[in-house]
Amino acid sequence: MKKLILLSVIALLSSGNITAQNIKFSLDPKSSLWGVSKGSTWLIKPKYTHKKDFDTQGYGRAGIGSEYSEKVYWGLIDIYGNELVEPKYDEIGSFNQYRAVVKKDDYYGYIDIQGNEIIKPKYKVAHPFDNIGHAIVADVEYPKEQDYYKIDIHNRIVTENNIKRYFHKNGATSAMGKEINGKKAGEWKFYSTSSYLVTIEQYNNDGVVDGNYKRFFCFKYGYGENKNNNYLSQTGNYKNGKQDGLIVFYNPNNGKPAHSEIWENGVFKKVQDIYDNKGNLISSKGTGTLELYKEDSKYLLAKVEYQNGHRAGIAVWYHPNKSNSQIRQKILYKYDANDVYGLRWEIIEINDYNGNPLPKGSLKNGNGTWISYDDKDKPTIITTYQNGKKVKEEAAVTKN
């Protein structure tokens, strides 16, 4: 009986192979179009300009294109000569786990073996489903490692080891890490919209940032070994959600330390170490000139003089997007042992984006006004000082 059943199965398979061999794409010499035929009978009349022969899975691809364009829209034909999918996709991949990747208008989705679109094209990158029913996808065209994630056959994100991820509006990963009961736990990484690593932080069991952290300059920059990675911009420590201890700031042009600060329970206490632009230590007592950089620019933001860890002397602020370090404003600060930011003593100059002088206010010898401007050189705030301390602040009113 077993032998008889086995022979019947072999006969059935052989019959299927004969059918597959008899059904094929055929070219109509009159129209120069492809159709699907069995022997001398058309199963699908000639209408296709392109074809890809039946694969080992029993599916052929039939396409319609224009002589004026290289673009071809592809459909799917089964081994019995049925058009499962009319020509509408840019690509149709092979089937795995009864699903195939399809591409339409630069987005990828999935169809099943009946040709049904089970996941609409929405991904910029999509891989075939694996043997356990998971597929790796990404929402950006040129994803980095952290931008890939897994979906199941129902288009649900697969969470592994409690790893949660969040996304920017452009589809790039914005943050990823372990999340337990809705709270961050352990190490979390945060990324820019361009998929560059911005911050690495640690979280305690209460979901509060706690422990060592690293921040990186979030623009694509660097040469040689640093070509695809950004230098550190800052390292330090959080204590129950507040910066605490030694915070080190770095130079984006070489990755060397620029200066360090002491913080206590979220309060900036003083500057400690000051380095030159080559990373050589100038002072460990907070006396000297600091070079400051924005986290999105390799150019200087400011040069500020400090004395015993407090701001004192000339502070020059630059337009950060100007490669020639054009001066935005220059201020004189007076040392104050009780104020790490120093006393604002005199406003020396303020310039617009093109280097032209702007009205600066009357601040001198610690008394008078200071006019602040936005990035478009529009006056925003007028601040009044007495003995270097702010006593009044009001919105600036533009005339003429």
Encode pLDDT of 56-79 as tens digits: 999 999 999 987 778 999 999 999
Same domain, 104 and 62: no
Residue 291 belongs to a domain: no
- Ramachandran angles phi, psi of 16, nearest 5°: -65, -40
Could you say which of 110, 139, 168 is where a domain stops?
A: 139
Structure tokens at 42: 């058309």
Could you say which of 78, 105, 139 is where a domain stops?
A: 139
Structure tokens at 296: 């999105």
**What's the whole-number mean pLDDT along residues 91-101?**
95
pLDDT at residue 2 greater than cutoff 80: no
Residue 74 belongs to a domain: yes
Same domain, 68 and 117: no
- Ramachandran angles phi, psi of 13, nearest 5°: -60, -40
Same domain, 81 and 112: no
Residue 26 belongs to a domain: yes
pLDDT of residue 295: 74
The residues near 53 (Cβ < 8 Å, ≥ 6 apart) are 24, 25, 60
Please give the tally of structural domains in the chain. Answer: 2
State the pLDDT confidence band at 1, using cuts at 50, 70 and 90. Answer: very low
Same domain, 33 and 74: yes
Could you say which of 60, 89, 118 is where a domain stops?
A: 89
pLDDT at residue 134 greater than cutoff 50: yes
pLDDT at residue 338 greater than cutoff 60: yes
Same domain, 83 and 131: no
Structure tokens at 329: 């404003």
Length of the chain: 400
Same domain, 98 and 84: no
pLDDT of residue 47: 96
Share of the chain above pLDDT 70, in %: 90
Residue 193 belongs to a domain: no
State the pLDDT confidence band at 229, using cuts at 50, 70 and 90. Answer: low
Q: What is the DSSP letter of 158?
A: P
Same domain, 71 and 38: yes
Q: What is the DSSP letter of 345?
A: E
Q: Which has more confidence, 196 or 90?
A: 90
Same domain, 105 and 129: yes
Q: Which has more confidence, 377 or 400?
A: 377
Dihedral class, residue 12 (left if φ above 0, else alpha if ψ from -120 to 50, else beta): alpha
pLDDT at residue 269 greater than cutoff 80: yes
Q: What average pLDDT does the chain have?
A: 89
Furthest-apart CA pair in the chain: how many Å? 110
Q: What is the DSSP letter of 156?
A: P
pLDDT of residue 193: 86
Q: What is the DSSP letter of 196?
A: -
Residue 44 belongs to a domain: yes
**What's the whole-number mean pLDDT along residues 117-138?**
96
Residue 225 belongs to a domain: no
Residue 110 belongs to a domain: yes
Residue 288 belongs to a domain: no
Same domain, 84 and 24: yes
63 is in which domain, residue-wise?
19-89
pLDDT of residue 371: 95
pLDDT at residue 11 greater than cutoff 50: no
pLDDT at residue 363 greater than cutoff 90: yes
pLDDT of residue 69: 76
Same domain, 66 and 76: yes
Q: What is the pTM of this model?
A: 0.74
Same domain, 59 and 96: no
CB 63 within 8 Å of CB 74: yes
pLDDT at residue 118 greater than cutoff 50: yes
Same domain, 78 and 28: yes
State the pLDDT confidence band at 5, using cuts at 50, 70 and 90. Answer: very low
CB 252 within 8 Å of CB 298: yes
Cα distances (Å, whole numbers) of residue 358 to 208, 271, 349 = 44, 31, 8
